[in-house]
Chains A and B, each alone.
Chain A
Amino acid sequence: MFPPQFDYERPDSLDAALDALADEDAVPLAGGHDLVPMLKARERTPGTVVDLGGLAALRGVERVVADGTERLSIGALTTDAALLDADPAGVDALLDATSEVGDAQIRNRGTVGGNLAAAHPASDIPAATLAAGATLHLVGPDGDRTVPAGEFATGDHETVCTDDELVTRVSVPLDPDAGGAYARKTHPSTGYAAVGVAARLRVVDGAVADPRVAAVGLLDVPTRLPAVEGALVGVDAGSPVDAVAGAAERATEGIDGAVREDHVVSAGQRCAVLPEYTERAVSAALARAVGREGVVA
């Protein structure tokens, strides 16, 4: 399989990249593991491929303080492998999810921003950014804007990012006493998640507080699991097993949208395994939160 013919540009600045993307027939190229297979399948036939590989400023991971909150700022072109190598504290679920992406070779090329911008419905990282309450930073011809992780994807491979905009970084709030985790049932054919669940919570005075639980692979967009979150609030962190299992049983309650299915994994199967992976993610997140210094179950 060969890609269709196209022109190739490799801008060396963000401004030049935005100029190139102003052409309505241009598409951005980051790690290439979403775009290049789609080019080969002729699902995309751009006039110009704009390689973002020259934009070194969009690589790297740093702690920043914004509006009095400490956050982890991840450049959109940071590869999955570079994020895992940096091993930043406070983003457990994101590191778990990133380590599940594709395989070692794919993580060496694939980027955090590219993963989010591609908006594959069963991709792992969007579950973690949603559970973490992350913010995506976009830039376009009309300037910068920020989008909460929960409002970024609008459908299967569809986002609020317009064709002439780029995701420049992802900013994840850091909470020193939070714990997070990601667990997934791998789709036996695609290697993506059949369902994947990210959980992030705190333990305050021995009880679960501020739980955020998000699933991918279930709907066309990442979705929070409201009934699980509601049932987790106040759970005794000292003996949580039955309560977490009970909360996880409610994983499909209040889900808004059609559950995905294909010829390998039905909607019913996804719903059937969701509680198990919800329980795994929440239990691991809770164990990590309890393990944080100063947190007493």
Chain B
Amino acid sequence: MSEHEIAATVDGATETATVEARRLLVHALRENWGYTQPTVGCESGKCGACTVEMDGEVVKSCCVLAVQADGSEITTVGGIEGAPDGLAEVGGDDVAAADDDGFGPVQRSFHEEHGLQCGYCTPGMILRSRDLLAANPDPSREEIREGLKGNVCRCTGYENVVDAVEAAARKLEPIETDGGAPEDAVDAADGGAD
């Protein structure tokens, strides 16, 4: 039984631990480091409650060994900010100023549409919904259902979850970059355009 020193960036913070090889990432997150948003549901890779972003991709942290996450960047639902990648909230600054709970548009839509009841699946639902919207900003209801098939909810019957993702999509619009990369847009805003 080998033990391993691991270090990962979790929600922007550097975390380290000495873990047994068999330690699962979800247990390292929850028990070693105190990030309790990813929850432990089916424990077999089906339910998606343990979903986190690992190096920018949503994964099921109950099927990743903690030692495999050494050197990676992990984002839990507690570490997300604002709109999904490549998207901005319609009327962004005004909405953000009025929003005093720090939630982004996807989280707010789950709240408003009652897309949760007990909340156990919600961290995974939010992360996968953001990922889905980043890839497909205007999904059909069928695409939302298909896209969330790896996230199980035993409370809502899914109807309100689909409503929530649809509502989030209506709040979001692609970031205008004049065809350039987002970095170019930042440069232009800094007066670097020529």
Given A37-B45, A51-B68, are A102 and B20 also a contact pair (CB < 8 Å)? no
User: B22 touching A103 by the CB < 8 A rule?
Assistant: no
- Checking A3, A37, A41 against B22 with a beta-carbon cut-off of 8 angstroms, the contacting residue is A3
| Beta-carbon nearest neighbor of B57 in chain A | A108
| Chain A: number of interface residues, binned into ranges | 20 to 34
Which A residues from 168 to 217 make CB contacts under 8 A with B? Answer: 191
Q: Looking at chain A's contact residues, is the secondary structure mostly helix, strand, loop, or mixed?
A: mixed
Could you tell me if A6 and B1 are in contact, using CB atoms closer than 8 angstroms? yes
User: B118-146, CB under 8 A of A: which get 1 and which 0?
Assistant: 00000000001001100000000000000
The 8 A CB mask of B139-163 against A (1 = contact, 0 = none) is: 0000000010111000000000000
In-complex Cβ contact of A109 among B4, B22, B63, B149 (8 A): B63
B24 on the A face (CB < 8 A): yes
One of A37, A53, A104 near B63 (C-beta < 8 A): A37
Query: Is the C-beta of B64 less than 8 angstroms from some C-beta in chain A?
Result: yes
| Chain B residue nearest to A40 in the complex (CB) | B43
Say whether A69 faces chain B, with CB atoms less than 8 Å apart: no
* Neighbouring A residues of B57 by C-beta, 8 Å: 81, 108
Question: Does chain A have a CB within 8 A of B67?
Answer: yes
- Does any Cβ of B come within 8 Å of A118's Cβ? no
In B43-83, which residues have CB < 8 Å from any A CB?
43-46, 48, 51, 57-60, 62-65, 67-68
The 8 A CB mask of A31-61 against B (1 = contact, 0 = none) is: 0110011011100000001010100000000
Contact A109 B60 (CB under 8 A): yes
When the two chains form their complex, are residues B2 and A8 in contact, meaning their CB atoms are under 8 A apart?
yes
**CB-CB nearest in chain B for A7:** B2
> With A102-B150, A103-B149, A104-B150 in contact, do A49 and B21 touch (Cβ < 8 Å)?
yes
Chain A nearest CB, measured from B58 CB (Å): 5
CB pair B59–A105 under 8 Å, yes or no, is: yes
Residue of A3, A6, A53, A104 near B132 (CB, 8 A) is A104
Q: Evaluate contact between A4 and B128: CB separation under 8 angstroms.
A: no
Given the known interface contacts A36-B65, A103-B48, A104-B132, the answer about A5 and B20 at a Cβ–Cβ threshold of 8 Å is yes
Complex contact A106–B4 (CB within 8 A): no
| Chain B residues, Cβ within 8 Å of A32 | 63-65, 68
B149 engages A5 (CB within 8 Å): no
Contacts of B131 in A (CB 8 A): 104
- Smallest CB separation, A254 vs chain B (Å): 34
Name B21's contact: one of A8, A53, A102, A109 (CB within 8 Å): A8
CB of B154, distance to nearest CB on chain A (Å): 15
Please, which residues of chain B bring their CB within 8 A of the CB of A66? Answer: none
- B24, B68, B128, B150: the one contacting A53 at CB < 8 Å is B68
Q: A40-B43, A108-B57 are in contact. Are A8 and B67 (CB under 8 A)?
A: yes
Question: In the complex, what distance in Å separates the CA atom of A2 from the CA atom of B22?
Answer: 7
Question: Which residue on chain B has the smallest CB distance to residue A36?
Answer: B63
> A31 CB to closest chain B CB, in angstroms?
8
Which residues from B are CB-within-8-Å of A29? 65, 68
Complex Cα distance, B21 from A39, in Å, reads 12
User: Taking CB as reference atom, which chain A residue is nearest B50?
Assistant: A105
Known: A103-B151, A109-B60. 5 other contacts (CB 8 A): A32-B63, A33-B63, A51-B68, A104-B132, A108-B57
